[in-house]
Structure 1
Amino acid sequence: MIPAKKNKYFDFVFTIYLKRLLKSSFDKVYWHSKIDIPSSPVLFIANHSSWWDGLLFHHLSRTVFKHDLYMMMHESGLKQYPFFRRLGAFSVNRSHPKDILRSLQYAEQLLQDGETVCLFPQGDELHIEKRPLQFQTGAAYLVEHHPEIPIVPLSFYYSFGHNKKPEVWIQAGRPLYNADLFGNQRKDKTQSLEQICTLQLDELKGRVVHEQHALFSNLI
């Protein structure tokens, strides 16, 4: 397991670079949330369909959340792009169960230390329209061990509108706690969480299709 190695100066420079990169790559980055994101540590989760997802989390942390994020990332990806460690990425190798446990224990310790963690329960990048979402059990594991920590589910949806560059639409759901997830077993709670996130993603898709721009603010 490769731990994060945050660097504040690198983070500052990368934040400026990322803002310019998003402006050059997207026409709009739309954001919508019915609730205020908790200021205390949270576990952010989201569907995972694009290389951009992790970068968007970083942008959100500097424009909306004001949280200092740590993010679980594939070991192969982190080895390919090691600079992500300096932004708070740590690795997981899903081909080795012991490594998965070490990564979850690392995330658990971060939450215990008052940090905010984000992960993608699908584990791999899957097509945005693929159903079921096929969540892994990591998020349920973490909230079992920290039932006081809320899960804040985000949905990402990429779309081409009426301009040359694509748009990305992001929607936040209400905070969820371990007690809000149905079932007593981790597998059942994972399925409950997957169902909630599926409904939220499909709701966001409907808003994109019907071009409900008025509900959203633009982050670039």
Structure 2
Amino acid sequence: MIPAGKSASFQMVFRKYNEWYLIRRNFHSLTITGSLDALPAQQPVIYIMNHSSWWDGLLAYHAYNRTSVGDHYMMMEERQLKRYDFFRKAGAFSIEKGSPSDVRQSMRYAAGLLEQSKRIWLFPQGEIRHLETRPLTFRPGIGLLLRQAPPETAVIPVTLHYGLYQQPRLQASLHIGEPIFQNWKQIGSSDCAEMLEDRLTVQLDQHSQQLLLSKEGYLPDEVHLIGRKRTVDEKYDQYRKIRKR
């Protein structure tokens, strides 16, 4: 198990690289609805999110650095963290799904972070799967963690949707759901995973439907986390206006 090793100086540089070189070059927009800080700062929180793209962790990282005052950490597959070990400096720690002893060690480590009122991000599907795949199929690890976590731990469902609309670059939409509180120690690990899977599935389906019904892939009350780029149509209209002068 590889622990996180946060570095303030590294993150100062990486936040700018992530936003300006990675996200802004590849995305037309990144928006968020709801709040990551709906609960007091001392509240231990686990954010669970669907996992449909390589971009998921980087977009979540940008979102919580822009909109949250909490101290956030992210669980990452050990194979990937060994390959990109600099993510440790951004707050990533590992889990090796194929090793039960390593899974238990990762859960103890995560529970220890929660006891310090840290905030943890998990992808309970355990692997990247297509956005439209159903069922989401959560692994039981989220239940194992919650049974070890402080009893006041809240789970906040986060859904991330990607789409192409009237421009060549992707639009990404994050929606933060309502906190979930339960007596986690009285729920079996598998039952807990199933219950949270159902909650995230409903939220993701509703999120997708709202975007489908929207005119250009934007939702009411959303906040833009990167400057909105002009569409191809808007650029062409501007060009035509200049030509007419």
Q: How high is the TM-score relative to the length of structure 2?
A: 0.84
Q: In structure 2, what is the Cα distance between the partners aligned to 1:159 and 1:72?
A: 26
CA distance in 2, matches of 1:35, 1:107: 19
For residue 214 of structure 1, what is the aligned residue in structure 2?
220
Deviation readout 1:140-197 (Å, 9 max, x if unpaired): 2222232201111100111111111110011011001224x7x832211211110000
CA distance in 1, matches of 2:28, 2:34: 20
Aligned mates of 1:134, 1:170 — CA distance in 2: 20
Residue aligning to 1:72: 75
Give, in whole Å, the separation in 1 of the partners of 2:29 and 2:122: 24
Match of 1:24 in 2: 25
Matches for 1:86-97 after TM superposition, within 5 Å? 86-97=89-100
Amino acid at match of 2:224: N
- One-letter amino acid of the structure 2 residue matched with residue 117 of structure 1: I
Structure 2 unaligned spans of 5+: 227-245
1:26-45 Cα shifts (integer Å, max 9, x gaps)? 11101111785223331111
Residue 85 of structure 2, aligned match among 82, 88, 91: 82
C-alpha distance in structure 1 between counterparts of 2:220 and 2:116, whole Å = 39
For the residue of structure 2 that corresponds to 1:195, the secondary structure is helix
> Amino acid of the residue matched to residue 213 of structure 1?
L
Which residue does 2:124 correspond to in 1? 121
Unmatched tracts of structure 1, length 5 or more: none
- Code of the residue aligned with 2:9 in structure 1: it is Y
Inter-partner Cα distance in structure 1 for 2:109 and 2:187: 24
Match of 2:220, SS? helix
1:147 maps to which of 146, 151, 156: 151
Residue 172 of structure 2 aligns with an amino acid whose one-letter code is: V
Residue aligned with 1:3, SS? coil
Name the SS for the 1:121 alignment partner: coil
When the two structures are aligned, how many residues end up with a matched partner? 218
Which whole-Å CA distance do the structure 2 matches of 1:35 and 1:86 have between them? Answer: 22
Superposed CA offset, 1:77-135 (max 9, x none)? 00111100000111111011111111111101111122111111001111111111010
What amino acid is the match of 1:164?
P
CA distance in 2, matches of 1:193, 1:153: 8
Q: Report the counterpart of residue 168 of structure 1 in structure 2.
A: 172
**99 and 14 in structure 1: CA distance in 2 versus 1, 3 angstrom threshold:** same
Change (3 A) 1:129 1:8: same
Residue in structure 1 matched with residue 38 of structure 2 by the alignment: 37
With over 3 angstroms needed to count, the CA separation of the structure-2 counterparts of 1:2 and 1:60, relative to structure 1, is same
Aligned partners of 1:34, 1:114: CA distance in 2, in Å?
18
- Alpha-carbon distance in 1 for matches of 2:48, 2:187: 21
Amino acid paired to 1:28: S
Of the two, which has the highest radius of gyration?
2
* Aligned partners of 2:6 and 2:89 also within 8 Å: yes
